[in-house]
């Protein structure tokens, strides 16, 4: 795959739609080969490739750094967990899975309430939705839960007096991710995995027509 032709917006869109349920890459593969990129274009191509291929590893690294930094601040740890959950809601697959499990759980106690939490039906024209598909969680647009989770996280961080420390830990984690993504050379397995996921995405879109 030619990552030079892939825009940053396309990478963000792919990370939002791709499955995150896959297990992370092994530590031996994650820390195997490092080298400085030969040019700016090579660096951008490597950065986009690694951010997509090692996405689960980077997410775990972010959580671990925040957890270690906030180990003595329980409220801040809870705020970090809410932040991770809110960011995970931005992924379509995770949001849909969370919504289904919540509705199934609520159905055991109140089937009528669970029926109300079902997302509204979207109009379909020639096999496709008339508008861009909106992801719902418990009957509400996903953005509502994201904003509520981020707001609650900010309040918890403020109450724990660790907001600046959280920002420092978060910045450190982002820098570590960018450094690894910039120096880790893409291997053949990463390229083959990217091609396989591209084929699955194209085939899934074709089957929806």
User: Phi/psi of residue 117, each to 5°?
Assistant: -85, -5
Measured from the Cβ of residue 8, the count of other Cβ atoms closer than 10 Å reads 11
Domain boundaries, the chain: 76-121+134-160
Distance CA 66, CA 77 (A): 8
**The pLDDT of residue 82 is above 80:** yes
Q: pLDDT grade, residue 187 (50/70/90)?
A: low
**The pLDDT of residue 205 is above 60:** no
Report angle CA 48, 179, 7 to the nearest 5 degrees: 20
pTM for the full predicted model: 0.61
Judge whether 92 and 132 are in contact, CB under 8 Å.
no
**The pLDDT of residue 208 is above 80:** no
Mean pLDDT of 8-18: 72
Mean pLDDT of 90-113: 84
- What does the pLDDT read at residue 174? 92
- What does the pLDDT read at residue 127? 47
Task: Supply 25's token pair.
Answer: 């890459």
DSSP sequence for 115-163: HHTSPPPPPEETTEESSPPPPEETTEEHHHHHHHHHHHHHHHHHHTT-H
**The pLDDT of residue 87 is above 60:** yes
């Amino acid at each position: 795959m030619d990552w030079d032709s892939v825009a940053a917006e396309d990478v963000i869109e792919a990370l939002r739609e791709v499955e995150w349920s896959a297990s992370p890459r092994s530590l031996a593969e994650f820390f195997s080969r490092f080298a400085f990129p030969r040019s700016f274009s090579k660096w951008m191509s490597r950065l986009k490739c690694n951010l997509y291929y090692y996405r689960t590893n980077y997410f775990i690294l972010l959580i671990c750094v925040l957890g270690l930094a906030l180990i003595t601040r329980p409220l801040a740890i809870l705020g970090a967990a809410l932040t991770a959950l809110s960011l995970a809601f931005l992924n379509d697959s995770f949001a849909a899975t969370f919504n289904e499990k919540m509705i199934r759980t609520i159905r055991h106690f109140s089937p009528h309430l669970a029926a109300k939490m079902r997302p509204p039906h979207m109009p379909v024209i020639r096999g496709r939705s008339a508008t861009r598909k909106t992801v719902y969680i418990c009957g509400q647009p996903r953005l509502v839960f994201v904003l509520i989770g981020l707001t609650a996280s900010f309040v918890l961080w403020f109450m724990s007096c660790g907001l600046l420390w959280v920002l420092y830990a978060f910045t450190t984690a982002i820098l570590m991710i960018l450094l690894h993504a910039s120096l880790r050379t893409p291997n053949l397995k990463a390229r083959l995995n990217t091609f396989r996921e591209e084929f699955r995405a194209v085939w899934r879109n074709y089957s929806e027509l």
